[in-house]
Amino acid sequence: MEAAQLTLDVSGVIRPIQKAVVCPVCAERPKESILPCGHSFCQECISRDLVEDVFTCPECATQVSLPKTGVSGLTRNIYSLEAFHSLQGLKATLSAEAAQLKDVSSFVAVNPPPLLMPEQPGPFPCHNCALRDARLHCRECGACYCRHCSDEVHAIPVFRAHVLTPITFGEPCAAHPSRATSHYCHTCMDPATGAGTLMCQECVAQHTGHTVHTAIQASASMRRSMVERAGGLGEVVSQLKADAQQLSEAVSTNTSTQASLEAEINAHFDDLASLVADHRRGQLASLRLQTAEVLAPYHAALQRVSSHEGSAVSALAE
């Protein structure tokens, strides 16, 4: 698996859940508050874009008047907040897994590994010029070249597709420094590193009964183990992608359900408020009518008294 593919896989895990829980305006903070229109944004973006306590939803252009308590009075998107924190942990996990996969992928990349020459005690002459040390092995030519000769030979168009691998030599044997290491003992393991012991051909007799392989065989075995590990980590990433998709769907469903229930509750209370207002108007009208009926006789009597008072005043004046 190549590094580019690893990046794509990780972003494929993160993108759907990030879209569901991260504010679409700043793309940094969680969707903290739900507007009456059902869309969610972080409180900082809502506060920043307010115009006289009115916020225009960037998604649907609905104008929302904030409650008396301001932005903090909007409904909290608890599903998004919880999922946002889960997303941070998921990112850390995926980054760690991707780093491991990238290391393994570099090891098992399409470029062939160096040509190991464990029995060769040191550099040897280029097969072409015999003047400089051989540094590259050509699989198609079956020869080892210095870099200068390799460049000249493979500059020919028909040879440009040849596969070249760097040449490495076995490390000097700890017991016999004049000889290169050629075998690997799995039994004699270093407790600190967990690695076995490299040795030359002469040392093999001292490891009778141990699990001993040639350095090339041991290298191939370790390579197969790394390939298997890479496959296992790939399965982990696939499972994390599936889990992230499920979490994203759950967040989306719960957020949608919450918005739907809020709309239903608001509609119910709007209807209730309308009924209360109608009842209030009816009661006030009834009270005014009853009061008018009760006061009518008093108004008539008051008019009669006023009339008699006027007649009496006129009589006294005469």
Which tokens in the block code for residue 279?
């009842």
- Bridge partner residues of 212 (DSSP): 185
Residue 186 belongs to some domain of the structure: no
Kindly report the pTM of this predicted structure.
0.33
Same domain membership, residue 94 and residue 24: yes
Q: Could you read off the pLDDT of 193-212 as tens digits, one per residue? A: 778 888 888 899 899 999 99
Which of the four pLDDT bands, split at 50, 70 and 90, describes residue 12?
Answer: low
> Do 79 and 294 meet the contact criterion of CB atoms below 8 Å apart?
no
What does the pLDDT look like over 158-177, one tens digit per residue? 888 898 888 766 677 888 88
Q: Clarify whether residues 105 and 129 are in a common domain.
A: no
Q: Which amino acid is at 33?
A: S
Same domain, 155 and 14: no
**Same domain flag for 102 and 230:** yes
Q: Which residues pair with 199 in a beta bridge?
A: 183
Q: Quick check: 25 and 42 in contact, CB under 8 A?
A: yes
Cα–Cα distance, 262 to 267 (Å, whole number)? 8
Question: Has residue 95 been placed in a domain?
Answer: yes
Three-state helix/strand/coil letters over 66-126: CCCCHHHHCEECHHHHHHHHHHHHHHHHHHHHHHHHHHHHHHCCCCCCCEEECCCCCCCEC
CB-based contacts of 74: which residues, under 8 Å, 6+ apart? 33, 34, 35, 43, 46, 66, 67
pLDDT for position 146: 92
Residue 71 lies in a domain: yes
Residue after which a domain boundary falls, among 237, 257, 272: 272
Same domain, 95 and 140: no
The three-state secondary structure class of 185 is strand
Both tokens assigned to 91: 């990112």
Residues 15 and 94 grouped into a single domain: yes
- Residues in contact with 25: Cβ distance below 8 Å, sequence separation at least 6, in sequence order: 41, 42, 45, 49, 58
Whether 19 is in a domain gets the answer yes
**How confident is the model at residue 169, as a pLDDT?**
66
In this structure, the answer to whether residues 100 and 231 fall within a common structural domain is yes
Determine, yes or no, domain membership for 206. Answer: no
Please check whether residues 164 and 18 belong to one and the same domain.
no
In a domain, 214, yes or no: no
pLDDT interval class at 236 (50, 70, 90): confident
Tell me, yes or no, whether 104 and 126 share the same domain.
no
Residues 50 and 82 in one domain: yes
**Same domain, residue pair 127 and 84:** no
What is the span of the domain harbouring residue 132? 121-169
Q: How many CB atoms lie within 10 A of CB 100?
A: 15
The DSSP letter of residue 173 is: P
The answer to whether residue 196 sits within a structural domain is: no
CA-to-CA separations, 271 to 47, 267, 317, in angstroms, rounded: 31, 6, 67
| Same domain (yes/no): 102, 7 | yes
How many domains does the chain divide into?
A: 2
pLDDT of residue 318: 63
In-domain check, residue 26: yes
252: left (phi over 0), alpha (psi -120 to 50) or beta: alpha
Are 152 and 102 within 8 A, CB to CB? no
Segment 96-122, tens digit of pLDDT? 666 655 554 454 444 444 454 545 555
Task: Read off φ and ψ for residue 180, nearest 5 degrees.
Answer: -85, 150
